[in-house]
Each structure stands twice: as C-alpha cells, then as structure tokens.
C-alpha cells in the first residue's frame, strides 16, 4: 500500500481527507497531537500520536511508514485566537511546519500537499482573489500560513520539495455517510454555531458586525463543501505523483454569501428559527473573501459536486443531529 502522512488527520478536514485517500487506494497515516482532533475520527488508517514541535516523533513516523507524500492539515486555525495569542500561532503553525518540512526533505519525501488559506490574501476590496493576488494577511493565522508557503518555496529551490498549496475559502458540511464530521471544542465557526443555536444548545448566534461595507452589512464568505475540498487534495496528490510540480490552487466556488444569507438558508434547510444577537465586529475578520479563480477546475479537473449552501448546511445538520465523537 502507498502511505501518505496526514498531519491533523484526526481533525475536521484531515479526517475527511483520510476517508477520500483510503477510497482512492492510499493508506492515510494520521499524525496528530489530539489537541483539537479526536481519536474517534481516525478510522481509515494507522494513527501516530505525535507533536510537530517534537522533531524526533516526526522522524520516527517517516522511518516507520516511508510515506510517498505528506498532507499537512495540522494547525491552529481560529482567526480570533490568533489575534490575541500570536506567539502561540507562530510557534505552533510555523515552527511545527518547519520541523515537518525539514523532516520530509531529510527523509527524501518530496511531495507535499499543504492546507493554506484565503486569509493569506487579507482584506482587498473589489479585488478578484485569484492565485496571483497579492498576499497581505490581516491576522496572525493568515500570516503564519503565508510564512509556511514561503518555507515550501525555499525548500523547493534548495531540496526539490514539490508542493501543491491549497488556499481554502470557508469549509463547511460533513461526510454525507456520517462517518466523520465537524466537531470543535470550543466551536467558533459560523455554521455549527448556528446549528447549536437552532436546536437550543446555545441561546443565540452572535452576528459579528452588521456595519460592514456589504449589501446587508455582514461579512461575505465563499463556502465550499469539505468533501469537495478533500477530493481536490487527492487530485493534488496525484498531480504531484505524476511529476507535474509545485502549484497553488484556490479552493472556493466563486460565490459569496453574507452571514445573514447563511442564516436565511439555515432557517430554510432546518425549518426552524435561528435566534440571533447582533454583536460587534470580531477583530481580524475580512469584509469579503470570495475566490475568483477556477484554476483547480481547469488544471486539476476538480469537479465540486456538493458545494451549494443548502447542501452544506443540510449535511452539517445531519451530522449535528446524529454524529459525535467520544470526548
Ligand atoms: N461569524 C459570526 N458569528 C459567529 C462566528 C462567525 O458572525 O459566531 C462570522 C464571521 O465574522 C465571518 C463568518 O461568520 O464573517 C465566517 O466565520 P468563521 O469563523 O466560520 O470562519 P472564518 O471566515 O473566520 O474562517
């Protein structure tokens, strides 16, 4: 079997990626410290409990499993936290990734799929965000991911590390078969928080800012279904294994929805009221992040199938009602 080392394989996106990799005939080897991930989410291949800040643990995983490639999801990813704890974000995300990239290069594993973010672009009013757009992150999370992209480029020059870098827009939804789903403690993301408010697990959803320069005053994001997103990762892995070389791809649908529009869709999908409170802006939030590129469609042959807002909310709602991990 062909092993792929999946850091963060016990997390939301990583666990869906492991399922997609296994379906494509790879063996996903999860490397995760279980700080934000769940042991129960590791269902599709071996598990290594390890920390990216511990180089010996990374080296041991490469020695034991001899992966042909790395898929690197493990990261702290809360925009708000990154503004109050930048040191934590830089150490965990950048130092941890540097350890991983160095270990991969030394082990001769030169295929690297990296989970980056549209937060590397920052706030750019009226600019179409394609892969050539300037990167001016406005929060430490985005800055940490941009730094890792730079490290990967330097390792390409020095060591021939080939990387496919995916800049995600907003990932939502869950495995329609209910094997894995989104489960964060604490939860900070819009759709799961809204579903909590809908079924009474929290009093209300706070809308972070209603005075943005958008048609309804709330932030606009481009939502993409997690299953479509991980399909792109398998295509990106194949791209590398076919020797096509380093490339950056945005992963978004090109359609933007405001927070209020997501609330309206959630009401329609669940047929329940959404209790909301209108609150202040959250520091670090960009006004609008919408992907302006179809490079992944044109070059990778990516074919997103489930990324309508209603389908994402409906899959998330099913998981919300039936799925859980033991905590
Ligand atoms: N948001 C909100 N209330 C919440 C959580 C999020 O209004 O409790 C907004 C947030 O300001 C942003 C959008 O929903 O405009 C998506 O936020 P999320 O945290 O899900 O993802 P991010 O865009 O930060 O990656």
| CA 188 / ligand 1 centre spacing (Å) | 7
Which ligand 1 atom is the nearest neighbour of the CA of 194? 8
Distances in Å between the Cα of 301 and the Cα atoms of 10, 56, 226, 235 are 27, 38, 17, 8
State the chain's maximal CA–CA distance in angstroms: 56
| CA 190 / ligand 1 centre spacing (Å) | 5
Coil, strand, or helix at residue 49? Answer: strand
CA dist 92 and 64 (Å) reads 24
Atom 13 of ligand 1, nearest CA residue: 190
Atom 15 of ligand 1, nearest CA residue: 219
| CA 267 / ligand 1 centre spacing (Å) | 17
Residue 326: the pLDDT is 72
Atom 6 of ligand 1, nearest CA residue: 190
Residue 126: the pLDDT is 63
Q: Report the percentage of the chain scoring pLDDT > 70.
A: 99
Interacting residues of 91 by C-beta distance below 8 A, sequence separation 6+: 53
Q: How many residues does the chain have?
A: 327
Query: 10 Å Cβ neighbour count for 186?
Result: 8
CA dist 60 and 88 (Å) reads 25
Q: Report the percentage of the chain scoring pLDDT > 90.
A: 90
Give me the DSSP letters along 60-114: HHHHHH--SEEEE------HHHHHH-HHHHIIIIIIHHHHHHHHHHHTT--EEEE
| CA 73 / ligand 1 centre spacing (Å) | 20
Coil, strand, or helix at residue 276? Answer: strand
- Residues with pLDDT less than 70, the chain: 126, 327
- Residue 168 annotated in active site: no
Of 141, 168, 212, 223, which one is the catalytic site residue?
A: 141
- Cβ contact 278:207 at 8 Å: yes
Which ligand 1 atom is the nearest neighbour of the CA of 78? 24
- Cβ contact 271:195 at 8 Å: no
| List of domains in the chain | 3-172+224-251 (3.40.50.720), 190-221+254-322 (3.90.25.10)
CA dist 93 and 79 (Å) reads 13
Residues with a CB atom less than 6 Å from ligand 1: 79, 170, 188-190, 193, 205-208, 219, 221, 259, 282, 285
pTM of the entire structure?
0.95
Atom 3 of ligand 1, nearest CA residue: 207
Q: Of 61, 57, 53, which Cα lies nearest the Cα of 35?
A: 53
| CA 296 / ligand 1 centre spacing (Å) | 25
Which ligand 1 atom is the nearest neighbour of the CA of 281? 11
| Cα separation of the two ends of the chain | 31
Residue 327: the pLDDT is 64
Residue 242: the pLDDT is 97
CA dist 91 and 77 (Å) reads 13
Q: Of 202, 170, 169, 203, which Cα lies nearest the Cα of 187?
A: 202
């Amino acid at each position: 079997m062909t092993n792929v080392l999946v850091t963060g394989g016990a997390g939301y996106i990583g666990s869906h990626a492991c399922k997609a990799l296994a379906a494509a005939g790879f063996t996903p080897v999860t490397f995760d410290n279980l700080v934000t991930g769940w042991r129960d989410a590791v269902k599709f291949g071996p598990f290594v409990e390890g920390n990216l800040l511990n180089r010996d643990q990374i080296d041991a995983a490469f020695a034991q499993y001899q992966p042909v490639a790395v898929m690197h999801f493990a990261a702290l990813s809360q925009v708000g936290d990154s503004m109050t704890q930048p040191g934590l974000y830089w150490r965990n995300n950048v130092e941890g990734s540097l350890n991983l990239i160095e270990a991969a290069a030394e082990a001769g594993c030169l295929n690297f799929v990296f989970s980056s973010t549209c937060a590397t672009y920052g706030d750019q009013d009226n600019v179409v965000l394609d892969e050539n757009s300037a990167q001016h992150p406005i929060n430490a999370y985005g800055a940490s991911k941009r730094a890792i992209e730079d490290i990967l480029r330097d390792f390409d020059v020095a060591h021939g590390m080939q990387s496919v870098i995916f800049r995600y827009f907003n990932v939502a939804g869950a495995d329609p078969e209910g094997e894995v789903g989104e489960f964060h403690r604490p939860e900070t993301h819009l759709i799961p928080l809204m579903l909590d408010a809908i079924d009474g697990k929290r009093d209300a959803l706070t809308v972070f800012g209603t005075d943005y320069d958008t048609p309804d005053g709330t932030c606009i994001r481009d939502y993409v279904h997690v299953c479509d997103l991980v399909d792109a990762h398998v295509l990106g892995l194949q791209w590398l294994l076919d020797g096509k070389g380093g490339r950056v791809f945005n992963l978004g649908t090109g359609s933007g929805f405001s927070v209020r529009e997501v609330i309206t869709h959630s009401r329609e999908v669940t047929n329940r009221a959404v209790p909301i409170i209108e609150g202040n802006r959250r520091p670090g939030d960009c006004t609008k992040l919408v992907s302006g590129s179809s490079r992944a469609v044109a070059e990778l042959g990516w074919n997103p199938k489930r990324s309508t807002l209603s389908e994402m909310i409906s899959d998330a709602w099913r998981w919300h009602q039936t799925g859980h991990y033991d905590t």
